[in-house]
Amino acid sequence: MKIALLCALGMSTSLLVDRMKKAAADRAIEAEIDAYSVDEIDEQLQTSDVILLGPQIRYKQNELFKKAKQADTPIAIIDMKAYGLRDGKKVLDQALELLNP
């Protein structure tokens, strides 16, 4: 499973990505989790199973959700509190819920 986190430059989510990877490993979940710039949305829609958006790019929600719907890729904005706390477990759970509603 591939989880893509998109933010303004693909850098501010790096600590969250590390914590999500640890949470996945602790639960024996095989997952490729990485952060990318929002400008890479089209490529990530082709290669990712789920996309999570950093709260700082919420203003692009309409455009990004429309693209994700056309690509049939689950997408959501990361819970702001979980993002701020860099809660890898909670954000991993959010991604898993999108994949298995």
Active site residues per annotation: 7
Task: Please report where in the chains the tokens 């477990």 appear, as a residue.
Answer: 89
> Chain centroid to CA 71: how far?
16
Q: Where are the beta strands (DSSP E) in the chain?
A: 2-7, 32-37, 50-53, 75-77
Helix (H, G, I), strand (E, B) or coil at 40: helix
Phi, psi of 9 (to 5 degrees): -120, -5
Helix 88-99 crosses helix 14-26 at what angle (to 10 degrees)?
70
